[in-house]
Structure 1
Amino acid sequence: MSGESAPAPKSVLARGLSLLDAFTPGEPELSLGELAARSGLPKPTAHRLLGELVDWGALERTGHGGYRLAAKLFRLGQMVPRYRMLREAALPFLEGLQRTSRENVHLAVPDDVCTLFVEKLSGSESMVIRSRVGGRMPVHCTATGKVFLAWGGRDRFRRAVDAGLARLTPRTIVLPGLLHKDLERTRERGLAINLEEAEPGVTAIAAPVRGAHGEVVAAVSITGHTRRLDLDRCGTAVQAAAGALTAALRRDTPPRPRAG
């Protein structure tokens, strides 16, 4: 996520995957040198593997001598059953939330120390924000990410702290103690709030979506301009949407088999 170099992986498959993993939402195009440095591979090895990834369809060359992810990866991603079924179940509730709020609406799932956006509906009257479907952002400064931290247990919190609480804006919480207190308030109110912690002027509020057995599997959020977003009204709306999606997921999930 930070773009720093890593120890070179040993197997051919791991080397190829390390090249794909070097890309970030903020840097969709990378040069051979950047890819070699981030993957820890020698340039000749990286160049050979990049050629094979281009031939297979995972990457494509740009007009500037760089590389970017190609459509084949997107097609494969759309077939992941867990996320595809979640998006299909969530879409009616997200559309309703978008109509009533007229703001940007997200559906996200946890991805280690990041929140991964699996659906985004842009509001008809809302501001443009940098999130995108398939994009990842740090958990500590996003409303959906705070949902996963608040109900994710000590291990997830520790991994996020160990990864570094990067400061994205002047209001980003970067001290573990302050973040812990913020997550306690999140659990108390049942909602996570991001007050200009990921982007200046942007505020978001999110609620947890639970699976059949009570575990938090996703988060639904509303994001808009800080000066205009009504947190009380949006909080009520996003909790209702998350609750309705939770109920729908429980109806569609078979019960656990009894022991014995």
Structure 2
Amino acid sequence: MTNAPRGHRPPHGAPVIDRAFALLGAFSATRRAMTLAELSRATGTPPSTALRLARRLLHWGALERDGGGRYVIGLRLWELASLAPRGHGLREAALPYMEDLYEATHQHVLLAVRDGHEALLVERLSARDAVDVLYRVGGRLPLHSTGVGLVLLAHAEPELQDQVLAEPLVHEPEGLPVSPAALRRTLARVRQTGLAVAERSEPGPLLTVAAPVRGADDGVVAALSVVVPASGAEPRALAPALRATARALSRSLGSPRAS
């Protein structure tokens, strides 16, 4: 099953709840505040309908108004999102282990879960002078070109792998095409070695090494990675600490394989 586009215009006559979700889905990392007119245009919702929905969402707390009167996402959604076991619950369990890994690297430590055809960043610990990255907590990462994404894709069901490999795959922001055959070989190597290694040139030269985190049924529930400057970095030097941390976290989540 493919992902429905976020913020996609609802079809004519869509149920009220779909139109409300469309309003919420129109917000993004680059579009955090909108006027009513902007919300209407972004979702294809008539202004009168957008106003009625926005008022209900304001009353419930899903939307708020900023100092300029524009609509922004409300704290009520954050309150609900904190109850998601694959997000906040996993983050709480992982933080002590991530902090240990951070102390060993003093760069970036990422924790992500798969959501459809993307990886969702649940937590990130970063040093003040760490290499620049494009990732933010709550942000979405491609499965085919990030360390955590490769781990999650390598351990996804074969049907989903086929769907992802059938899509036009490009490394962004570099704009480099990805060969499906080469990606299949990479995924096989990730399963064999237990590690994903990815190098990127944007926003700066960096190296990512990632490992799977397993849950009580021994399935991969998340991916843990370190991101460091590419200059002088060696995956073999990062692998032991990363493997040990991922295994300890998996053990805390009840993985039989990590016991």
Instruction: Quickly name the TM-score band, shorter chain normalised.
Output: 0.7 to 0.9
Q: Structure 1 residue 18 and structure 2 residue 25: aligned? A: no
The alignment covers a number of residue pairs equal to 252
What TM-score, normalized by structure 2, do the two folds share? 0.84
The equivalent residue for 2:150 is 146
The correspondence for 1:126, drawn from 130, 134, 139, is 130
Q: Distance in 1 between matches of 2:233 and 2:92?
A: 27
- Cα distance in 2 for partners of 1:129, 1:79 equals 28
Give yes or no for the alignment of 1:158 onto 2:159: no
Q: CA deviation at 1:202?
A: 3.0
Deviations 1:39-88 (A, max 9, x none): 34333322321232123221223455643212221122112234333222
TM-score, normalised by the number of residues in structure 1 = 0.84
- Structure 2 residue matching 1:79: 3-state secondary structure: coil
Partners of 1:174 and 1:64 lie apart in 2 by 43
The Cα shift of 1:251 comes to 6.8
Mean Cα deviation higher: 54-63 or 241-250: 54-63
Q: Deviations over 1:181-237 (max 9, x none)?
A: 222222222111221177442321110001122210011110122224332222222
Does structure 1 conserve the Cα–Cα contact (< 8 Å) formed by 2:212 and 2:224? yes
Identity %: 35
Residues 1:189 and 2:197 are matched in the alignment: no
1:171 deviation in Å? 6.8
Alignment partner of 2:179 out of 175, 185, 189: 175
Q: Which amino acid aligns with 2:48?
A: P
Give the match for residue 248 of structure 1: 252
Root-mean-square deviation over aligned CA pairs: 2.7
The question of whether the paired residues in 2 share the 8 Å contact of 1:113 and 1:163 is answered with: no
Separation in structure 1 between the aligned mates of residue 63 and residue 179 of structure 2, nearest angstrom = 38
Change (3 A) 1:140 1:190: same
Contact residue 141 and residue 173 of structure 1 kept, 8 A: no
User: Could you tell me which of 6, 11, 14 is aligned with 2:9?
Assistant: 6
Asked whether 1:105 is paired with 2:82, we answer no
Note if 1:83 corresponds to 2:87: yes
- Unaligned residue ranges in structure 1 (runs of 5+): 253-260
Residue 69 (structure 1) aligns with? 73
AA aligned opposite 2:55: G
